[in-house]
């Protein structure tokens, strides 16, 4: 090794071990070493610095290279996120190794550089802990996760924690029996689950020992026979994908292809985790390019310090994104490929597993859903109307949600209406070509004389239904408020709506049947929107249905219950008061709470637009 070469050390400091690589400027790896944890949160600042020092001394000895020959040390270490924390580590290492170029960053950044060959893209680390870091072309950085083993999702520790919870639930008959029980007992050499508590809470039990249990879940899930294990891995995949999507919303990749690097032991050993995670992210960001890691994180840290020393390596060319030829909902679901050969319980379990993933997808859109609720409620309170438009399953759900507003909130068909491509006949029969007729969508809005006070929500799993597009275009031209609910990224109806909501639920249990997960997501969102609007305009008294139509004996008894709950009256007193008020729930409550007679109570309600909450505020 000649003195003319430039030598650097890259360090990847993790929660369980610290890996080091010694390189020259040509990226030849001359030596590697491994020492203990250098996570400051776990072992403390002084111990972490000592571990880093130990690693540097050890690797230079392995390379038979004197320490003065090292020009720089790049350090990526878990638990170092804030600039002040990085500076503190840098200054401490500068004292230990004076004269060296010291570069310090969170361990996810060198993992990105090592994996993608550049400081650009998204890296997801899933090991003992988990973290997501993204950097766009402008250098803007976004970080999600990385809160430590107690809080991280999609990590080895999180999977182990869910595994232990699953086997104890099975023991208590609160969950299905699972082969994980025998695997964990065998791994820990325990006779029964009662001994698990002693093992888990023994003083000095290390986090990495608990996280290692995730290996049993990973191995069992790969067979796809134990659905409890599969569910735990699916939960981890969704958590990691959600973190990536949250980071993407803070960055600006536009339509530019960007590398998506999966790093850490969980991704390395779990093909199921990789597949489910990739499917979820690609459904949201089809311009993501999953890449095989160019180098590991230790080499990535060395590359970063080489750049600080003036050695700039050309970034690798990214392949074109593998854009799906089918929408997410029309791709095949890995978990149901052989569903015809499995028992009915497996089918029900997998469907339940897939349905549990829907609220997580919706959660990402809650701010947009809330904004749409508030915007519509403001217009509705001034006499505006709400129209929900769709075709097929989406249209039927729109009609259903509108119809349910009548008995629940006393909303008339003129106030809230569903518009279904093909008309009423399409509720029970397929009307050929109806959803492809954009002009009919326009006509449906024009026929209702939609105006600036009105709101129109287009609903389509594909996000591209011509009938819905036509309705939104016509609504926009008439000055109405427009929203959309779609299940595909960059959907045409999203571009037409002032308040777009996109919930990508991924491959269906039965390929292409959007009456399943996509339809369930749509109904849940429509429930939120219609209920939220009615609450905001005072069609309820807090959480009591004060505007419902008491049209049968059951509902008349429910009206008595509502008045009793709202006022503290006995049921007999509430029933008598309702009779005095001609069965009007709000009038009865106003009488009881203000001491007004029925006629005066009606006047008071009329003065606030029927909003009982405003009388009592």
Q: How far is CA 204 from the centre of its chain?
A: 34
Q: Which of 404, 415, 438, 600 is catalytic?
A: 404
* Helix (H/G/I), strand (E/B), else coil: 290: strand
In angstroms, the CA 381 to CA 547 distance is: 15
Partners of 483 in the β-ladder: 457, 499
The region, left, alpha or beta by phi > 0 then psi within -120 to 50, assigned to residue 563 is alpha
Q: How far is CA 216 from the centre of its chain?
A: 26
* Helix (H/G/I), strand (E/B), else coil: 547: coil
Do residues 35 and 98 touch, judged by C-beta distance below 8 A? no
Residue whose entry in the numeric block shows the structure tokens 């430590």: 148
407 Cβ partners below 8 Å, 6+ apart? 548, 549, 551, 555
In angstroms, the CA 262 to CA 123 distance is: 6
- E strands within 237-306? 258-263, 288-290
The CA–CA distances, whole Å, from 224 to 335, 384, 473 equal: 7, 51, 46
DSSP secondary structure, 225-244, as one string: --HHHHHHHHHHHHHHHHHH
In angstroms, the CA 327 to CA 489 distance is: 9
In angstroms, the CA 163 to CA 170 distance is: 11
Convert 428-452 to b/e letters by CB count within 10 Å (16 or more is b).
Answer: eeebeebbebbebbbebbeebebee
| 404 labelled catalytic | yes
| 195 labelled catalytic | no
In angstroms, the CA 9 to CA 35 distance is: 14
DSSP class of 544: B
Do residues 163 and 217 touch, judged by C-beta distance below 8 A? yes
Beta 70-77 vs 7-13: how paired, if at all? parallel
Q: Which of 216, 354, 435, 508 is catalytic?
A: 435
CA quadruple 303, 304, 306, 308: dihedral, nearest 10: 170
Q: Write out the catalytic residue numbers.
A: 404, 435
């Amino acid at each position: 090794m000649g003195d003319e070469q430039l030598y650097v050390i890259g360090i990847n400091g993790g929660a369980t071990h610290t890996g080091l690589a010694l390189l020259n400027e040509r990226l030849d790896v001359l030596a590697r070493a491994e020492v203990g944890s250098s996570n400051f949160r776990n072992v403390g600042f002084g111990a972490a610095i000592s571990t880093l020092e130990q690693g540097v001394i050890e690797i230079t000895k392995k390379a038979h290279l004197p320490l003065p020959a090292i020009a720089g040390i790049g350090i990526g270490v878990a638990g170092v996120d804030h600039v002040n924390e990085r500076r503190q580590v840098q200054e401490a290492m500068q004292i230990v190794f004076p004269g060296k170029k010291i570069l310090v960053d969170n361990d996810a950044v060198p993992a990105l550089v090592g994996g993608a060959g550049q400081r650009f893209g998204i890296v997801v680390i899933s090991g003992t802990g988990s973290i997501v870091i993204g950097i766009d072309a402008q250098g803007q950085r976004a970080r999600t996760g990385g809160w430590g083993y107690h809080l991280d999702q999609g990590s080895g520790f999180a999977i182990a924690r869910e595994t232990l919870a699953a086997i104890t639930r099975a023991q208590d008959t609160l969950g299905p029996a699972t082969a994980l029980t025998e695997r964990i007992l065998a791994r820990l050499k325990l006779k029964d689950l009662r001994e698990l508590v002693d093992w888990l809470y023994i003083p000095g039990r290390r986090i990495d020992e608990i996280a290692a249990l995730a290996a049993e879940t990973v191995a069992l899930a790969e067979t796809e026979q134990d659905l409890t294990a599969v569910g735990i891995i699916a939960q981890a995949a969704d958590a990691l994908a959600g973190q990536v999507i949250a980071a993407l919303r803070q960055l600006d990749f536009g339509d530019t292809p960007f590398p998506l690097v999966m790093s850490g032991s969980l991704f390395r050993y779990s093909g199921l985790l990789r597949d489910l995670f990739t499917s979820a992210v690609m459904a949201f960001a089809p311009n993501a390019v999953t890449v095989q890691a160019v180098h590991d994180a230790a080499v990535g840290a060395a590359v970063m310090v080489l750049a600080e020393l003036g050695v700039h390596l050309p970034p690798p060319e990214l392949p074109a994104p593998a854009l799906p030829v089918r929408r997410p909902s029309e791709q095949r679901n890995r978990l149901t490929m052989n569903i015809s050969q499995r028992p009915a319980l497996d089918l029900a379990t997998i469907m339940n597993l897939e349905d549990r993933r829907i609220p997580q997808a919706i959660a990402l859109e809650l701010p947009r859903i809330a904004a749409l609720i508030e915007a519509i409620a403001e217009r509705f309170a001034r006499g505006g109307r709400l129209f929900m438009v769709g075709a097929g399953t989406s249209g039927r759900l729109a009609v259903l949600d509108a119809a349910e507003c009548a008995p629940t909130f006393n909303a008339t068909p003129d106030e809230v209406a569903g518009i279904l491509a093909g008309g009423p006949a399409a509720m029970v029969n397929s009307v050929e070509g109806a959803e492809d007729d954009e002009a009919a969508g326009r006509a449906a809005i024009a026929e209702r004389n939609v105006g600036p006070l009105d709101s129109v929500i287009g609903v389509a799993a594909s996000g591209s239904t011509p009938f819905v597009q036509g309705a939104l275009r016509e609504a926009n031209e008439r000055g109405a408020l427009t929203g959309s609910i779609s299940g595909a990224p960059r959907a045409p109806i999203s571009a037409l709506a002032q308040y777009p909501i996109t919930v990508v639920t991924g491959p269906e249990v039965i390929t292409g049947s959007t009456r399943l997960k996509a339809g369930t997501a749509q109904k849940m969102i429509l429930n939120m929107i219609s209920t939220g609007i009615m609450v905001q305009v005072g069609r309820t008294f807090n959480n009591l249905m004060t505007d419902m139509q008491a049209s049968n004996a059951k509902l008349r008894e429910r009206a008595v219950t509502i008045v009793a709950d709202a006022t503290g009256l006995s049921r007999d007193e509430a029933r008598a008061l309702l009779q005095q008020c001609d069965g009007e729930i709000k009038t009865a409550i106003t009488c009881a709470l203000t001491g007004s007679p029925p006629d005066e109570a009606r006047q008071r309600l009329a003065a606030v637009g029927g909003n009982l909450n405003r009388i009592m505020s």
